[in-house]
Amino acid sequence: MTYIREGERGFQDSATYKAWHVVEYYRFIRFFPGGRAMMVLSADDPGLIVKLMNNRNICYVQGAMFGEYRIVDDVLFCILNKSKPKKPAQKFRRKRRDSMVYHDVPDQEFLLEFYIKGPRFQKLFWRNYKILSKYSNGSEQLDIVNLNEKEFPRLVFSPVRSYHFESYSPL
């Protein structure tokens, strides 16, 4: 995924200078046997990230999401959750007289749907992308992401050459 964004100007830059940044990042989705899935968004080298995604229960990449997937006919359904932080994450801001106002940070589920197409069924085309936010007071909010080919290009399967560096049980 690539996009261009405007950068900030320093106080010494002239009025005619405009900094622009080309931002490039990758979306990795790993499907494990038994219906387990993992998704990572990262701007790091793909070879490095793929090596860190070799365990179905833990990933050392910040922001990794885990979940389950199912395939029905030629449609792949996937539900992903962000890993829970050790401490309850709450954002706050101060009001007058140092009284604290806490804001609820919701648990989020990412609902993905793909069509499986292409020669030898090696491409995933986006069908649906929804984000379900669940708040502690019981309310829920469903956001539907507008999918277009430019912002959400198709995903291409890449074979995994090495599944694990070590075995967790006898082979």
Q: What is the DSSP letter of 27?
A: E
Report how far apart the first and last C-alpha atoms of the chain are (Å, whole number).
38
Q: Would 169 be classed as within a structural domain?
A: no
Q: Would 14 be classed as within a structural domain?
A: no
Identify the pLDDT of residue 166: 52
Q: What is the domain count for the chain?
A: 1
More confident residue, 50 or 83: 50
Identify the pLDDT of residue 140: 93
Tokens of 148: 């277009």
Half-sphere exposure in the Cβ direction for 135 (13 Å, CA) = 8
pLDDT at 112 over 90: yes
Q: Would 152 be classed as within a structural domain?
A: yes
pLDDT at 169 over 60: no
Q: Would 79 be classed as within a structural domain?
A: yes
Domain that holds residue 42: 21-156
Identify the pLDDT of residue 168: 56
Q: Would 50 be classed as within a structural domain?
A: yes
Q: Would 166 be classed as within a structural domain?
A: no
Q: Would 72 be classed as within a structural domain?
A: yes
CB 42 within 8 A of CB 28: yes
Q: What is the pLDDT of residues 116-162, one digit of tens each?
A: 888 877 888 899 999 999 988 889 999 998 887 667 778 887 766 65
Q: Would 135 be classed as within a structural domain?
A: yes
More confident residue, 78 or 51: 78
Q: What is the pLDDT of residues 64-109, one digit of tens each?
A: 999 999 999 989 999 999 866 555 555 555 555 556 666 777 889 9
Tokens 């990758």 sit at which residue?
A: 26
Identify the pLDDT of residue 119: 81
Identify the pLDDT of residue 13: 64
pTM of the model: 0.72
